[in-house]
């Protein structure tokens, strides 16, 4: 029997690709404010909180707290407009089968996302009902790379983090999973998630549930 009793999935970059919508929303704000912002710059925003994303976009440009709040609200408004386009067709390749197979095998499944919009996205993807727990941008105060969110989700599942495998596409997310004492499965290139226990260059389509449990169990 595997030690691993649950899979905790990050949302953006693992189950669906909302990064493109985040990019378009930040880009719109940056253009309006005359701040240079490229797709490459957007990579640094992957997996980090809205507040930290703004700081990285500003690259040290000073703004007042009032402006920061107004800009984050404006960006979020744009982002939420894009989110209305999301359907189950936006699930990343392999996600549907992997989640269903995990449940069939008695592995609990949960989401641990930094996003305050995670529940809306999960509803639009029509997978909310399948999940045993959902941690989002409201669940904890300290965001990734702090371990808090994954510890919180493991608690909701009634499991120690060491019995959970976290699937993450962001460097900060893998840091958080390792700090929580969970197994870490990285989605994407080695430069970003090479410090995970196991890496899936193309995401959940790369592996089956039994293969994943076996590889993590043999570490």
Residue 124 contacts ligand B16 per CB under 6 A: no
Segment contacting ligand B16 (CB under 6 A): 94-102, 113-121, 155-163, 197-205? 113-121
Residue 136 contacts Mg ion per CB under 5 A: no
- How near is the Cβ of 18 to ligand B16 at its closest, in Å? 7
The span from the CA of 187 to the CA of 166, in Å, is 10
Q: What are phi and psi of 126, to 5 degrees?
A: 60, 45
The span from the CA of 3 to the CA of 165, in Å, is 10
Segment contacting Mg ion (CB under 5 A): 8-16, 32-40, 184-192, 206-214? 8-16
Query: Which 20-39 positions form the footprint of Mg ion (CB under 5 A)?
Result: none
Q: Which does 8 bind (CB under 5 to 8 A by kind): Mg ion, ligand B16, none?
A: none
- Based on the residue annotation, tell me whether 17 is a catalytic residue of this protein: no
DSSP for 183-219, written as a single string = EEEEES-HHHHTTSSEEETT-GGG--HHHHHHHHHT-
Compute CA distances 64 → 41, 69, 98, whole Å. Answer: 22, 9, 45
Report the interface residues with ligand B16, using CB under 6 A: 10-13, 22, 45-50, 53, 76, 113-117, 137, 170
């Amino acid at each position: 029997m595997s030690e691993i009793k649950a899979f905790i999935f990050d949302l953006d970059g693992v189950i669906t690709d909302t990064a493109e919508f985040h990019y378009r929303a930040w880009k719109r704000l940056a253009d309006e404010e005359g701040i240079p912002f490229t797709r490459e710059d957007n990579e640094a925003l992957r997996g980090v909180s809205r507040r930290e994303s703004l700081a990285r976009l500003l690259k040290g440009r000073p703004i007042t707290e009032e402006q920061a709040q107004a800009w984050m609200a404006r960006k979020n408004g744009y982002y939420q407009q894009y989110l209305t386009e999301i359907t189950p067709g936006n699930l990343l390749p392999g996600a549907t089968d992997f989640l269903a197979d995990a449940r069939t095998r008695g592995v609990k499944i949960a989401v641990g996302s930094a996003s305050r919009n995670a529940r809306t996205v999960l509803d639009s993807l029509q997978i909310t009902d399948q999940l045993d727990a959902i941690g989002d941008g409201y669940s904890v105060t300290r965001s990734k790379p702090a371990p808090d969110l994954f510890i919180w989700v493991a608690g909701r599942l009634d499991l120690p983090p060491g019995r959970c495998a976290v699937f993450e596409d962001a460097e900060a997310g893998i840091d958080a999973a390792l700090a929580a004492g969970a197994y870490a499965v990285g989605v994407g290139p080695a430069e970003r998630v090479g410090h995970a226990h196991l890496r899936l260059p193309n995401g959940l389509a790369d592996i089956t549930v039994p293969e994943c449990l076996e590889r993590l169990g043999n570490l």
